Amino acid sequence: MKFFIDTADLDEIRDALSMGVLDGVTTNPSLMARAGRKDTDKLLKEICDLVEGPVSGEVVALDAAGMIKEGKRLSGLSEHLVVKIPLTIDGLKATRALSDEGIPVNLTLCFTVSQALLAAKAGAAYVSPFVGRLDDISQDGMGLIEDIVEVYEKYEIGTEIIVASVRHPDHVVRAALLGADIATIPHKVIKQLVQHPLTDQGIAAFMKDWNKLQG
Ligand code: E4P
């Protein structure tokens, strides 16, 4: 399973890159706002220059024509740029038009299997089901991933599933067990993935014994 980082913060991206675990990046308008940079195209270009893998930059237009125009502009920023589009009727139209021109699209804000099926039909390279936001309203986020994986496998669909809205390490582990292609993970959760109290206790014990030996 590939690991993407879900952030527009360059320091977080650099940190994950230096850990050697990063395959790509996803951003959205809220993450852009959190990064506090108004020159968003420049920021996306800087992210693409840092990361060798796919970088999703989201359109803010809500109509198909606007999405297509914005998607083409974003796509021109870098060969790594993936155009992120909300999963609406206009979003499907824009996805078909952009993917027909060879521009990869990540259809985002996916909450049902039917939306994921439509994403594949429209030619999306990626679909992003949001597990955390479903859990937040007492629905089964990982159950949705299980169902999409099953349907995509049944029809040998090539659209890659990005498990998004990840809240904790267990989302990542369950995504891997289900065979999802990608998890896009906040920086905080990437760091949580490596932590275990027995690892810390083991290091402390090794150091204590080593220091005793040294006198
Ligand atoms: C995915 O691409 C989105 O950027 C992200 O995962 C949304 O997560 P949130 O529900 O934590 O905002």
Atom of ligand 1 nearest to the CA of 27: 4
Measured CA to CA, the distance from residue 119 to residue 113 in angstroms comes to 10
Query: Is residue 19 a contact partner of residue 190, using CB atoms and an 8 Å limit?
Result: yes
- Which are the catalytic amino acids? 84
Q: Packing angle between helix 89-100 and helix 64-75, nearest 10 degrees? A: 40
> Token pair 């896009």 is at which residue?
184
pTM of the model: 0.96
Q: What pLDDT score was predicted for residue 52?
A: 86
* Tens of pLDDT, residues 83-138: 999 999 999 999 999 999 999 999 999 999 999 999 999 999 999 999 999 999 99
Beta bridge partners of 129: 110
Measured CA to CA, the distance from residue 104 to residue 56 in angstroms comes to 9
Best of 2, 3, 130 for a ligand 1 pocket test (most atoms within 8 Å of beta carbon): 130
Confidence check: pLDDT of 208 > 90: yes
Judge if the beta carbon of residue 126 lies within 6 A of ligand 1: no
**Residue 127 main-chain phi, psi, to 5 deg:** -130, 140
Decide: helix, strand or coil at residue 45: helix
* Tens of pLDDT, residues 47-90: 999 998 999 999 999 999 999 999 999 999 999 999 999 999 99
Atom of ligand 1 nearest to the CA of 30: 12
* Tens of pLDDT, residues 160-196: 999 999 999 999 999 999 999 999 999 999 999 999 9
